[in-house]
Structure 1
Amino acid sequence: IKDFLIKNKITFIEDETNNNEKFTRNRIRKNIIPVLNASIAGGLGKFKRFFENTDSVLMLFDFLIEDRLNIMKSKNPIILDISKILYYNNKLRKNLLYYILSKNLFVDSSLIESIDRVISSKRPNIIFKEKGMIIEKSYNDLKIEREAGDEFDKEDFLKPGMETLFNGYTLKITKTVFIESLLKKKNVFVFPLSAGRRFKIRTLQTSDSFVPFGMNKEKKVSRFLMDNKISLSERRRVPLILNEKDEILAVGSLRRTGLYRMKKQKGCLCIYVGKN
């Protein structure tokens, strides 16, 4: 518009607040839109097609947060640059925190509120524990990590898109389009989307039983582990993945349940269980 006015020698007045980065609209226009324009082939003209692909949106968010906005100083442990987070308004700041932290930790709105209060506080050094997390503010750094517990973890939570470490195992759940080759991937169990929306990871309990894939009746998980020659100490560490109905979907990387078999579904859940 400005170029058009100048080219046609039309007199105009520019609002002096247009260049003031105190306002969110100006920060987005000056700092985020140029990055988007440079990052997407064809520029902003291809935005609509780009944003129709959910995976592309998530990849873009990761790119912005990790490579352009410079919010994260470290991934393990998670260390955030407080000055970069405070650059954004309250609502956007909380959304950024949730997006960053939910990729690796189980967070909810109350934990995000607590972290935001720490970030906004004028006190230079704060440390507190909440919901199994240790949150530590040291001047411009915010460090967030799981609280050290017993010899091994008893329980954790996962949702699609998250990855976690549990008793020496790496677990990750993703939603994706089903293709036959997924069934041949090592340490990956494939389920229809109906298998669950929220997942719990925990260690063995005495009453646990499941229907192992390839069998038509239930079997005690403890007996299954013994039959697979898993030592007693290792049995206490093996992660069990359960859905919101408390159905055991997988026993470590050993076997999945025979429930929820793939048929002709387009989408699927992939549960990766790898031993570190």
Structure 2
Amino acid sequence: MLKAFKNHINENLPFLKEGKLLIAISGGLDSVVLTHLSKQAKLHFSLAHCNFNLRNEASNADEDFVMHLAEDLYVEVFVQNFDTEAYAKTHKLSTQMAARELRYDWFEELSEQLKFDYILTAHHADDNLETFLINLTRGTGLEGLTGIPQVNKKLVRPLLSFSREALETYAKANNIAWREDATNASTKYLRNKLRHEVIPKLKEVNTELLSNFEKTINHLQDSKSLIVDAVSKVQNEVVSEEGDLIKFHIAKLQQLSNTKAYLYELLKDFGFTQWKDVYDLLEAQSGKQVFSKEFRLLKDREYLLLTRISSEENTNTIQVSENTKKTETTLGDLLFEEVETITETSPNCIFVDKDLLKYPLTIRHCKKGDYFYPFGMQGKKKLSKFFKDEKYSLLEKEKALVLCSEENIIWIINKRGDNRYKVTDKTNSILKITFQK
């Protein structure tokens, strides 16, 4: 196996020979064999071991084993202890997910601090098959059927093409000791149930299961590449971005041969799970929304609008004193300047009679019942009616800001001023207010 491992590195992962590597080691068969193979292949590496404190003395025994192994092989080792159960409770995660999050966060931290080029994990061919079957039983798209990637940014899995049987044969032939995790024998978890009860039966049916599975994965990955190319072409035609807003043109989406498939590929990375609701937005009334944990998808006339859910409260106000020259808002900056005469007029600039203002002025989001007296018009108008006439989307309404004197609106910022504060021939002091993005 050592020869096959060296050939695999030379042919498929040659960058590992020159890199500074960090090997994630648990003390189990897989990571111990990876460590020995890497030593024999003369790779430059250190070890990183996580003690999750989930198995009492067994966890400490694993740590001791890894420490002695590092000493025997003359390699550097890093050990980190975690209170995994407390972390899981605080972050509302399963114990397994908490351990995974803690592990990879720490590996990344070590990598950044100590300048490791790559992080190596000991996932092998059987792990890949188990992951495939788990995703298959839970329901997944093509993404979940293409297996564990051999290289994912800084994460590298050099044993992915080797079976667990091959690793065990190598370890026994070379008198390599390892630690057995008793929980791996339990069928309480789906992965273990597949490992001990399902996959052995499949191997009985077909002794070439793993090699055939590898071929299938390669075919699926090729298919995925075709899909990526097709989606990239469609994305250029139907998707546009305006700052932090992503817009999907509905009519163009509906002209595609498989609208649902393209919509899934375009939105799969934004955490949506209620896919029927997402697809139904195409035919829904304007204002209909679907939420993921971090994002919102809104139907607005000709578009689906995707934005990140804001944690900011729309009840916050900004006060502007009489001496203020510049203030920042969520939309941009407001500049205040006393001038002698009115010059240019535009939506992003207004001139008001300063003597009519009552300080401090306030900047806030719109609220129900707001009204103003639109500049150049007679009478008042509700903001809700103004927004409807101006064809504001729900997102634009939520983002809109007004500048106020006490409760009176002076300006719908960057849109329309109020007639009550206009400059007249009786004005003695003119204030120019400019909006800058």
Give the TM-score taking structure 2 as reference length.
0.27
More helix by share: 2
Bigger relative contact order, structure 1 or 2 (CA pairs below 8 A, ≥6 apart) = 1
More strand by share: 1
- Which structure has the greater CA radius of gyration? 2
Give the TM-score taking structure 1 as reference length.
0.41
